[in-house]
Each structure stands twice: as structure tokens, then as C-alpha cells.
Structure 1
Amino acid sequence: MITFTDVENNEYQAQCEIEKTDAVNGEKSLSGTIYFGQDVKANIAKGWTLFFLNEEYVVVTYTKNDKENTVAFSAVQAFFYKMSKTGLYETWNGSHPFSTYLDALFADTGYTYDNTASVAAFEKQDWGMSDRLSLFNDIIDQASVEFSVEGTVVHIVPAMGSDLSTIVRKKFNLDTAEIQTDNTSFATYGRGYGAYSNPDDTTSQRLEVEYKSPLYDYYYPKFGAIEAVPVADERYTIADNLLAAVKDKVDKGWAISLTLNLVDLQSVGYKYAMANPGDYITVIDENLNFSDKVRIIKVTSDYDIRGKRTKTEVECGSLSFSEQQKTSQSTLSNVAAGKIPVPNEWLTSQVQLATNSLLAARTQINFTDQGIIAVDKSDSNKVVILNSAGIGVSTDGGQTFKSAITADGVVAERIFGSLISGVAFKTESKSGFSLTLSSGTLRVKKDDLEFGSLTATTDGATGEPNGFAIWNQQGSIFSINQGSSTGGSLPVFQLPATATAENRQYNLYGSLMSPLVSKQPGGMWIYHDSKFNVSADGGNNAQFQVTVGKTSVWGDFYVYNGSKNAAQVTRDGIRATPAYELAENYVGDIGEGKTGEDKTVRVDIDPLVFDLINTDKPYQVFLTAYSDANFWVSERGKDYFIVSSDSPDSAFCWELKGKRRGFEDQRLVDTKDTYEDLEKMEGLIPNGDQNIQSNS
């Protein structure tokens, strides 16, 4: 009996014949005919689901046959359906890490993922604004990974399946075989063309690579270079990525497809279970002169109304990866995924998966000289061995034990748990770079050279821990980096290799995005040995500069709600002498003079003062008598003025004020600042009380 569920989660039972399809990269679909179950046949509609072999499927099509009183339907695994019915409403361009694409695709879908494949960042153009499954399909070719779906977790690996010792042979367990080859796309040489050195100039130099396959020299004497269609894509900016695309196109241009009808030998005690998609098996058919190891791409099984498997068809082949992984849109395509941090709910699903697997297993126990051997009755590739050497778990019939516990330690491809506790942990790259976590300290090393560590700090007096520190060894670099669009990264904060404890140094490459605030007792210091500059135009020019004994300002200088003062030392302390303010921009000069016998005198304007003021505009001369006479200005010239008196040989003082060159028309200039702007300037207007005289 099969359980169907309607949109209100009401359950109904039915008996069906079902054809189930499993393929590499997770494709799972059903097609079936419902014979018994009147409620289902009468009411089946959009949004109905069913469970088959402990997996949920969504009904996508159904056809009612009144003559035979049956209903034919097709269904896809829930993951594919749900991903196809949710969209990503963003558009992305440029290069991003694989995990970044997948973070966006998996967000808020109810699905998480686990990745053990390494995928370099790659570029996309106008990626997005579509359903998530289509976008998933779009990146599988570039990622070249495979996956399986278990519940709400998608597992990503470099390649699915195992290399089995299963041999399928004509007249033994092989009924029929059909081999099809296609060499229309066969090639031994390829070229790739990527981005231009100047993206706006298509005549500039272009990224270019070429590739020769291992078969190049063999076929060259007869055919020369057998060339593939060039890869021409300006989105490629990294030579290695472009070369990989060319290599993939050349090496996978020769297609082989093998379709087999296998006799299910489980019922007669055959050692190995039916292989799964992704597994490699050896096929021998003397009639076709074929003997080779092939990979299972798709398994199609028929089940009768009692749930018994009656027929299995296996499709094997070595088609190009991008083509072999894709299935038709009618089965909602295939998927690839990438790395994310493991969330708590993911661990919960792993515990549930392990629990379900253990409780659902039906096991045959054998007692042998090798120890106790447990074999899964439904899949004899799953074997557990227990003996004096330890415990081993195998998925390839006992050929290898990738998960094991022995006296030498624990071997496992994955370890899941809420807490992993121990004395030391170490991870190491192929280049010898390693991270070691021991005694509460994380050390970064390359072979025997230690770069630095993350460790606790202690109180110098008591020795008690009081915090933690990240420190680098002298001669090494410590850097906090920001990832770039090309897949690399650039430093934002860095301790250079030249830094020492006696000469502490750091480099800041990023931009400050928050206020610069200091609580240092005694005030905040910003200093340099010779010159300190402040710029507000991106560092092109300084608007404020401090050197020894001098402060310079370029541009206008404003003082809000205060005065410009010179501090002078007096007998009663240091006193402020405010600057004289005018409504317009004037430059002045002061001097003394004396009229002659003719009661006049010419006063020449100092040439330097003349350079500062514009005498084409009216300037003012103020006179003060130092003798018993009357004085007036009888003439104002461009670079002089004449003072007259009513008595000869009379002394006086003069003050000249002229408009500053370049600022002749300025008068009470509007700063464009508002009261609201001033309120944002901390301390300028305490409590909102403007110290400004106004008529309003």
C-alpha cells in the first residue's frame, strides 16, 4: 500500500504499479498507475504527495482512465519540486565563491547542505532572476560535483558511488546489452579565449589558452589536430579556470552509452546488491566484444502493487560530465551545491538519518574466523566487521573500511556531533600548512616553522587567564583580509613581517566606517615625527596640515559659535586676543605720515599689500591727526593715495582697508549649514540652545 496525502494533510491508501528512476546527482522520479484506492483515484489533485520507500514525492501530472478505472501519475522527489517553485529575485555578476552561490539558493528553503568537494570561485553573468532549481542546474557544469538528497540535507561529493567488484556477464546475470557510441564531437585539441586586457577595447590583448589531449600524438599523423569548438567567454579572467573548461570540452567529446537489463540475483543469494547510481561495475559481453569498467548513470526499477521489484534497467556510460549529469526538465533536472557552515538543525538531521538507517536495517549475522560480520540483507555492499583488531564499516562489500576503530585510532570520512572533545586536533594541507589545536591554543605552522597562534592571555601577577590574543611570530605576517571578486583576498588590517615587540607596527588598508572615538585618559593623541595631514578629498590634497611650529589650512576656515583667538602671555596669565571680524573680506595696512610745506603728501601702497587687495574696487583710508590740523584724502590712486591738511608739516596716522583679491564680492557668505546640521555637531549647541542672535 502507498500512502497519499492531500493539501490538508489527510492521508489515503492506494495500491499502485510504480516505475522508479534514480540517477547520478540525486534525480529521483516516479511514474505509476493506481489500480485500487477509490478515494485517491477520485480526489487526486494538485498539491498531493506520496511516500515511497521512505521518501516524499510530489505529484506533478495525473491522467484518469474511466474505461479501465485507473489513474496514471508522475511524481518527483519533494526537493526538486520545492526548489523549482521558489525564485531568486536578484541578479549577480562577476566571480564569487561556490558557497556564496549556494548560500543564496538554499536560504529559507528548509534544506541545508554538506560539502566534501573543493570548488574554486567562478564567474557568472546576469545570474539570477529565475527559479532556484534552474539556477542550480546552471552552475552544476562549472562546479563538477555530484550530490544525493537525504531528507532535508543535500550531500555534495566530488563523485558519487563506489568502485565495486561486481561483475555483470552475459548468460550469468546479464540478459541483454546495447552499446551506443558517438564520436561526432571527438577532439584532441582545443583553444579558449577569455577576458580582454581592456574590457572596453575588443582589439586589446585577450586571455588565451590551449590544450592537447593524451590522444593528440596518436591521431595527429593521420588527421592532424582534431579541434574542438573554441571556448570563447569574456567572463573567464583566470587562465586555470579557462583551461579547465577547454580540457573538459576536449576530453569528454567521445560519448559511450550502455543499457543493461540485469537479473536481480538477491533472491538467490548473490553476494552483492544491485549497484547504485554512481557505482562502477565491470561488464563483460563476449558477443559484443565488450569488457570494461563502466559507471552506472541511471537505475530504473519496476514495482508491482505489492511493492516487490520486478524489473531493473541500468544505464551506464561515460558521456561528457555536463551532459551526463543533466536530466530532462520533465523530471525537474539535476542539482549541484556548495559549502556552508554547519547549522544546528543540520546536526539534528544527521542524528535522525543515522537513527532511521540503524532502525530500518535488516541484518544477517555471520560468525567467522575473521570475527562477527554483519551484512545488510537488502544491500550486501553494506558490511560491518567486529573482531579483536577493532570495528570496521564498509559500503563496498568489505573491500575497504573507510570508517573504522582500531588500536591505531579512528578512521572516518565524516564525524558529526554536538561536542567533539579531546587533547589535540590537527588539519594539514598538501603543501604542509597546518592548524593545530592543543592545550587551548590554536597554532598556525608550515612544517616546523610557526607563524603565530590564538591563545589565552594571563595576569602577570597571578598567572590567571584574563582574555585571549592573536599573535604572530617575529618575521611573519598577520593579516585580516577581505575576499575579492576574483576569488582571492586583500588585506584590511596587517601586522607586517618587520614588526617586533620593540617596534610595533601595523598597516590599515581599509576605510573607517564609524566614528573615531578615544577614552584615553588625558586626551587623544594623533602624531607623526615630522608632518601630519588631514584630507577630505580622498587623499589627493591636504586641507589641514601640522608641522613643527606651524599649522596650515587650505580652503575656507569656519569657527562656529566661538572666536578666533591668539593666546598671549600676560603678567596675569595667558589671555585670548580675539580676531577682528568684518562682514566682507578685507586686507588692511597701517602707517604714519606728515604733510609738507604744500600741505600734501603722497603715500605709496606697499607692493605686497597691493598684491593682496584689488584697488580697482573702492578702498578705504582712515586718518587720525597727531597735530593741531585737519586732514582728508584728496586722491585715491591704484597704488597710492594723497593726504592733504589745512596746515603745513602736520603729522597723522593712516589705516588702509581694501577688498581681498579673488573675494571682492563676498559678503556674509551663506555656509549652507542648517540648525539641524549644527545639532548633529556634538557640543556645538548644548541642549539645543542656539547661541546665535536672530530676528526670527
Structure 2
Amino acid sequence: MVPMTSDDYREKIAIKGHVQDERGQFYVIQSRSRSREGRKLMASIYCNHIMFKLNDFKFPYTSYIDEAYGVHLNELTELITKATGGRFTFVIHNTFDLHDVKDFGRGTCLEALNKIVDMYECEVEPDNFVINLKKRIGSDHGLQYRLKKNIVSSSFKDKGESLVTRMYAQMKDGRTFIGMDASLLTDLERSLLSSIPGTIVNGNLAVNYLISPFAQYWASDSVPFYDGEIIEQDIEEAEDLLKATRKALLEQEVVSLEATISTADLFKIDHTEPKPHLGDDVMCIDPDMGMNRLKARITELTEYPYSLDKHAEPTISNINLRDYDDIISDLERNKNITNNLFSNGKIRTDVFESFAKQAVIDINNSKTELIYPPEGGILAQEKTNPLEQVRLTSKGIGISTDGWQSIRAAITARGVVAEQVIGQLGNFVSMLIGNGEDIVQINTNGIAAGASSFNSAPFRLNMKGDLIANSLTANYANIEYSNFKNGAIVGSSINVGNGMFTVTSGGIMSAVGANFSGSITASTVTGTNINGGTITGALIRTAATGRRIEQDSQGFRSYDAANRNRIQIATTDDASAAAIIWRDANGTSVGEINSYQNSGVLTMYGNSIIIGSNNTSNPIRMQGAVTFGGAVNGLDISDVTGLQAELTTLRNRILNLESAFYSHSHSVTLPTHNHGLANAANWGGTFTTSTP
């Protein structure tokens, strides 16, 4: 508030004038509100920092960037400096990563600055016409707002409407980071996702979301997660999308807090007390208000540096500083700005007409004196600035702004010379831009660049539409009949059929289906079904660990849950090449079925072999002759069908024969005989034999 009767108001305070604060910062006066209270006349002055004069500079169309890759922050700030005629300069205090830029330079220079702040995530600290860009403004001076010390009154609000504990993400063409290597996650992110089954499969992400470490704190039986989603159409790489998701979740995984405090400026009377600055970290201590050592940043600050009876009114929050989009909206409220020079491919005539209108105004407002020099011709000289001259002679017309030391524009029989030629229609036979071989030419042959001879230029576009160029970078191309030299296509990505077939710059290919007639080489093949005739040179297994079957050049193996080899078919060069080997729980061989070289014999070998059947109705059957090379144990007579009966029959018959043998006797009749001795006659007879 300023008294309207003061000299300051009458002589110094004018619309678009400037005022200076105690720090030497200049502000532009934007409005004056006058009020009367009896004989008391007061004016309320509204002004904003001189940095916001950037909103009065239109960003030139010639500096507009449609799309560029890996742009340094300094390149964009130099464009703003150039657009303001060098009036505004920038100091970059930190190292910022390169950033891909798209659609930069529409609107004013302030909008361009806001685009920089948004892309590079920097904060602004203006020093009049020098704009400092930092990763973070303000600092921690140990400033505290404490009840009974410097808090006069306060209001405190917390909101959970935007709370997110599970953040989904999409990028260009609806793609996500599903399938990305999970090693790119932080240890905490991986741990949180691993707690949910199916989120990470075979070391790759199977979901397109991240989980907040505070999710369990906010979870309930009805709502386990508070979901949110970001869709970044400017992102094409999965790793970049992961970073954007991580940043978005970090900003929304906590409840937003905001406190407005009316303070006592102790620093005005005690210079040892810290003074608040925008962006500073502060601690608020007012337990009754729920601010128990609350740590936040000053996001807005209203100060009264010259009034001891008025004190600073800071707004502290755990969210970002005020967005420049809001500030621009305030500034643009009553201002109409032409956003661009082109609309639907046609030049806007109102832009040209405004330029022509201004030219008419400048000419009408000029105060010209006509002079007839001795050498002839007519010299039109501006009275207020004699250096501005127009000379007319029989050779032509010349225009100078430095007293004829140089010519800014001229018209002669040979042509027109000017720094700018502005109009709506031009009809030319030939146009040349540049010097020597560094030249662009437009003539009846077409358009060429890079050589004075049209047919030798590295870039040529003839009247038939044939284009020759050393290299071509395009945001979009619709090629009906293509011919790629040497059969190579190099680009950031390939998308065919609206996502039916895609290839990222990281070499990740996605397709609905594929037919390959040649070979496929890969470190990992993941799929549900693999159908084919021959798989060569691979480790085939049903699982990476635990119970599984494995097959490779060493043979065939089965493993139990403890990863112990239990059954093996080896492929060594010795006799075991035709062996199936069984092992116990310790991995020790307990037996094998083997066919030794050229033996023609199938051998079952083991320290202890048991062959049995638990079902007597399905007995073990051996067909053909059986040879036992040793003792047979555990085989009862009753286990052989019919053997007991046959043996009993044979025993009975043997017993009968034995009985008949031992009880047998018979009679023997002998005739008379002398054994060849006449004197030893032995008279015959019938005799009975004895039993055995």
C-alpha cells in the first residue's frame, strides 16, 4: 500500500515500471488498485518478479524443436537467451542428464522455461535477469517454527485423496516393462514384488507396476493397495518407463501435507536467528496440531521486509514447489498470445498482417527530412535519429540505420537485398542460401543442398519427387514401395500392425506368431509349448532346480527335490554308454542295466536286486529259459505252481518202490549138477531167496 499523495506514487510508480526490494531484486508493476477512506487516498501495488517478463517474449518459430535426442540443458537455455536478445541469461549449478526433447518452443519463453523445469526436474532461483537452475533451491539452516517461540497462528491439513501404493505404467503404443530383466530393480523394489507370487518369472518382470514400501501400512482387508497409473506417450524404452514409474510412486506414496503459518520474524530483531527462504527445509513443532517435529519445505512465502509489525507467512508442504503452469495461467488470463505461425499447414495471415500493420505505424510516426545530396539522388533522413536513412538514386533504393556505414536493405535492377523478406506469396525461378559449396538451392531442377552443382549435391529432391540424401531422420514415414540399401534397417524401434510385431532399440522382439526356416540362437527361450522335430545342442530340463528331468550331451538324468541325481543314462565312450544307472539318496550307484560291447547280453547289475509284484493277480512272468549262476534264496516249493503235487507223487512212488524192494523174495529151482566134477555131484532142488 502506498499513499497516493506521496512523491513515490506520483513520480515512480507506473504501470510496467519497476520497483526494487531489499535484496536488489527488481519487480514489474502490473496493476494499481486505488481506494479512498475519507481524505485518505491509498494505492495497492501488485507486481511480479522481472523474470516473468519472459512471458512477454514470443519463442521464435525458427528455434522450435519438433524432436531431438540426447539434448543438453544448456542448449535449450541458450535458445531462450537468444530469443530475448541476450537480456536473460542462465547459470546451471548442477549436472543434469541428457534428455530427449519433443515439441519444444510453442508459446512464450516462460512456457519454454517451464518445459525445461518439467523435463530436467530442476528448480528456478532468479537473480533479476540471471536465472539460476538447480536440482534443488533452498537449504537447511536449522529453521524451526515452534509453538511459544515464533508461531503466532497456524493451520494444518493432510490429504490422502491422491495416495498411491501400487503404481501401474504404460508408455508409447500401450507398451509396458513386462518382460524386462528384474535385475534393473532396486533391492527394495525386487523384495516387495517378490512377496507377491507371479510378479517375477524366470528373472523377468511379469507385471507392469511397482509397490510402495508403505503399502502394508495403508492396506486394509477391503483395499490391499491404492492403485494409480501413469501413461507416458513420450517414452519408448522400458528402462526409462521404470524410472518414470519409480519417480511417480515416490511422489504419491505419502499423504500430502500442507501448513500455513503466521510467524514472528525474530530475525528482524535478532540477527542470529535464521531467515526463511523459498525452498528451505523447516521443522514445525506444535504437537496439539499434529505437527510433531514435522519436516517439510517452504513452498510459498509472503514477506514484509520493511514492516516490523508484519511478519512472514510461509506455506510449508511435502509436495513440489508451485508449478510454473499455474503462474503462466495467471499471467495469461487477460492476454491473447499467438501460439504458432502455422495452422493446418497454412501460414496464418493475421501474423503477416500484424507485421505489415506495425510497419505502416512506424512509417507514419517517422519524422523525415528530405535532403538532396550534391552527388544526386534523394536522401530521406529521420529527424529524431539521423543515422536512420533511406536513399533513392537512379540505381535503386537503399536503407541504412548507421548513417550509411552499411546497408540493411536495398532494391536495385540486379535484385533485392534484405535481412528479412516477409510476405504471403513468392514466385521465383531460383533461390540460393549460403556460400561456396555450403549452399542450399531451389530452382527448376528441384531442391539441393551441400554443393553448388545440383547433380553433385548430397541432398537432392527433383521435380518428380525422387529424393537422394546421405542420411534421413524422420518422426514418421509412410513408405509404399521401400528399398533399404544393403538390406539394413537401423532405428529406435519397429512397430508393425499396431503392436502385432515390435522390436525395441534394446533388441527385444515381440510377435503374435513367427515362422523361421533357418536357425534360432538364443541364451534363453521361454514359452508354454515347443513343437518341433529336432532340438540339438541344448540343455533340456523341466525345472531349474528341485524335482526335474535334464537332458544334454552328457546324457539323461532325473533329480529329486534335494537336487540329487537318481537315474542316469550316460553317453560316455566306454561300456556304460548303453547303461541305465540308478543311484540312492546319497548319489551312490546301486545298480544298472547294461549291455557291454559286442556281448549280445543285457545285464542287470546291482549289489542287491529285488524284483517283485504287489499284486498276486498280476505276477512277474519270465519267458524262455532261465539260468541261475548262483544260489536262489526265498523261493518256496509252494511258490512254483504244481511242483508240490508233482514232488509228492514222485515221493509216493519212490516209497512204494522201496517198500516193494525190501519185502521182495522168490523161489529158485536148480537142476542136479557137478560143476564139471564127476565125483562132486550136487543135487538140485527148489530154494526160496531171502529179502534184501
Same fold (TM over 0.5): no
Considering fraction of residues, name the structure with more strand. 1
Sort the TM-score into its range (normalised by shorter chain). Answer: 0.3 to 0.5
- Give the TM-score of the pair, scaled to structure 2: 0.39
- Give the TM-score of the pair, scaled to structure 1: 0.39
